[in-house]
Amino acid sequence: MSLRPIAAALGIFACTPDDPAQPAGTSSDAEASPTSATPTSGEAPTSEPSTTSTSSGTSGTPTAGEATTADTSFVPMCGDGEIQGDEVCDDGNQVPDDGCDLCMSAPTVVWSRLFPGPGGLGDSASDVVVDPAGQIYICGTQRDDDVDYDITLRKLDAEGALVWERIVDGPMPGFEIGADLELDPDGGVFMSARLADGMDVSERWVRRYTADGDVVWTFSEAGPVPGDTAAARMKIDGDALYVVGGEAYDLGTRLTLHRFDRVSGVVVWAQTYTAMLPGNASGNSVVIDENGDLRVAGYQPTATGSEGLLQRWASDGTLVTTDTWQPEDEAWSASIFAITPLPGGDVAGVVLVSNSDYTESVFRALRFAADGTVVWDRVVADVPGIDRPGAIGLDEMGRLVMVGSTVTFGGDAVLAVYGVDGDEISTLVMDGGMVRYDDYRGFALHDGAVYVAGRQEQIVGSLDQWVRKILL
């Protein structure tokens, strides 16, 4: 399986020919003017997507844009060991913070917003962050026409209404996408992206924005040879901004890791990791562990495809360890999409496992010990077809939250909650109403809610950026 660096980082793969989110290649610094706070986009969907809980018991159909109303005719007894009513777990006690916090209720959709682009078909949100004041930022891509995609950054208020948007459109047609967001401690956001220098040539790109959408600084750089070069996920640690990704070189692509001074945008150091075998390798995710080390995840080539890659880097740019993970069937490929640090130096990650032509794939979650060995391995979604992960993180109760997609009903978004011990707490599947392409690609946790971002097919063949607020 041949995976391009930006594809692995953002969950956009060598999809079936009719997938409108198929990558292509563009570059730019052009910005749209601020948009008024009364937009035509960003309204709640006109249809009502169905929500299904595949956890230990309940299912329901929350209406998009409003909270569900509980059935008060029956009151379940928390702690009796039986899952009843709107409980998604009941572990026989009322002990908080043990993975089943006081018999948690089924997740509730508070609101849902769509942001259609001018060309339709291939729009998608990649990530979402929420600042301390509850203001929301989402990034992604929107399709102008058959060959031109632009980077998007939108700021929303606490209710999901558009405050302003910025569109980065390069001078050449091609595929451009905002990959990741990090909140700026001084206000505003950082956005990483893929910019294109042609249909199959791109560069890594990072920009710092103020809370008002003004540009503070921009970094843009091509790889050493023409090809697929991109920035993927980021992480801030003090005044350091770390950015992982991939770049083209003469034998394929290789992993890149940059440290920036986040205030000025100056590159403090830049490192590359080249796999032993020729082919495609890339970094998908970077986090900071409890020891202050960088943990980097991605993939690298094998003789039959690719394997998951998990590394430890020191803050001075020194590579400390490299570990790999392969599925049981070595004919299948693996890519670690995203990771989150756990106590004791462990990390948990979401992993894509796919066959050689990417007609079948599985969404899995693994916990890796500090030495790279596997503590546990869980299948989050495995329906015949394409199931794929998006992101992972820890909520305030210490539970693992994961997002992605499954083909349960043709192409549906997945929001799963697991304990750090690998036990499933709940899995929420959201059907957008059409038959294909609904998914979650990123999420943020704020004030007891999870904000998810991805894409939804409201009309057959038309994909829109999708943001939702859900109470877990």
343 phi, psi to nearest 5 deg:
-60, 150
For the record, the structure tokens of 92 come out as 């026989």
Place of tokens 């249909």: 199
- pTM score above 0.85: no
Distance CA 467, CA 104 (A): 23
* pLDDT values of the chain reduced to their tens digit, one per residue, 472 residues: 333 333 333 343 223 223 333 332 233 344 433 333 333 344 443 333 444 444 333 333 333 333 333 333 444 567 777 766 556 667 677 665 555 656 656 678 899 999 988 876 778 899 999 999 999 999 999 987 767 889 999 999 999 999 999 999 866 777 889 999 999 999 999 999 998 877 678 999 999 999 999 999 999 999 999 999 999 999 999 999 999 999 999 999 999 999 999 999 999 999 999 999 999 999 999 999 999 999 999 999 999 999 999 999 999 999 999 999 999 988 899 999 999 999 999 999 999 999 988 889 999 999 999 999 999 999 998 887 789 999 999 999 999 999 998 875 557 889 999 999 999 998 988 765 554 568 889 999 999 999 999 988 777 667 889 899 998 7
CA distance 214 to 424: 42
Superfamily in which the 5-70+105-471 domain is placed by CATH: YVTN repeat-like/Quinoprotein amine dehydrogenase (2.130.10.10)
Going from N- to C-terminal start, the domains of the chain cover 5-70+105-471
Token output for 153: 């950054």
150 φ/ψ angles, rounded to the nearest 5 degrees: -120, 155
Please report which residue ranges of 199-290 form alpha helices under DSSP H: none
- The distance from CA 95 to its chain's CA centroid, rounded to whole angstroms, is 32
- pLDDT computed for residue 455 by the predictor: 86
End-to-end CA distance of the chain: 36
In a 13 Å sphere around the CA of 428, the CA atoms on its Cβ side amount to 25
Is residue 129 helix, strand or coil? strand
Cβ neighbours of residue 308 closer than 8 Å, sequence gap 6 or more? 297, 298, 299, 324, 325, 326, 334, 335, 336, 349, 351
Please enumerate in sequence order all residues whose Cβ is within 8 A of that of 132, keeping only pairs 6 or more positions apart, or say none.
none
